Structure 1
Amino acid sequence: MSIYVGNLSYEVTQEDLNSVFAEHGTVKRVQLPTDRETGRPRGFAFVEMGTEAEETAAIDALDGAEWMGRDLKVNKAKPKEDRGGSFGGGNRGNSGGGGGYNRNRY
């Protein structure tokens, strides 16, 4: 299980997060997603702690705390949702022709 950390400053680094969360236990991993185009952090991160007790301690201490000029949102991360099949159940063998959509229109 990991911790979701939201409302982060765009200036934050993995090292910054590691040092803050290390005050509450062993940090196993920090993921700081970045924007594909700009390369800058997207304003949230995921942190894995050594034990569930350490996760709870970090969440209790840091949720709502002000850090780098922002009030942090810290809670247990929710499992990633399956985004497949949102348009009628996925690929049904419709691999050719495109169904006539915009075909020969120009």
Structure 2
Amino acid sequence: MAKSIYVGNLPWSSTEDEVRSAFAAHGEVLSVKLIEDRETGRPRGFGFVEMEDEGALAAIDALDGADFGGRNIKVNEARPRAERSPRW
């Protein structure tokens, strides 16, 4: 089964390939999605990585707090998105 991992405090210059590479050392990476600002298209400094359970747990243990591009990244299991009321 796949597990979604939150990755925060990424340098804005990070690419999906760089993130995939870092996580691939711990197991098969199914997908990488770096989040961009809707209006400007600029990176927001966080994203999500989807991996198989075993690799995901190993990646979380190994990479949480690790240096990535000069910043200490935050890595943990992603929580389900909270319901938000519509903005009218």
Same fold by TM (over 0.5)?
A: yes
Greater RCO structure (CA 8 Å; 6+ sep):
2
Following superposition, which runs of at least 4 residues in structure 1 exceed 3 angstroms of deviation?
none
User: Following TM superposition, by how much is the alpha carbon of 1:32 offset from its aligned partner in structure 2, in angstroms?
Assistant: 0.6
CA distance in 2, matches of 1:85, 1:37: 18
Q: Gapped runs of 5+ residues in structure 2?
A: none
Q: Which residue of 2 aligns with 1:52?
A: 53
Aligned partner of residue 64 in structure 1, secondary structure: coil
Count of equivalent residues: 85
Letter in 2 for 1:68: G
Match of 2:31 among 26, 29, 32: 29
CA distance in 2 between partners of 1:82 and 1:32 (Å): 21
State the partner residue of 2:78. 77
Aligned-residue sequence identity (percent) comes to 55
Match of 2:62 in 1: 61
Structure 2 Cα separation of the partners of residues 53 and 6 of structure 1: 21
Give the structure with the larger strand fraction: 2
Q: Distance in 2 between matches of 1:38 and 1:16?
A: 22
The structure that has the greater radius of gyration is 1
With over 3 angstroms needed to count, the CA separation of the structure-2 counterparts of 1:17 and 1:82, relative to structure 1, is same
CA root-mean-square deviation? 1.5
Q: TM-score, length-normalised on structure 2? A: 0.90
- How far, CA to CA, are the matches of 2:86 and 2:32 in structure 1? 30
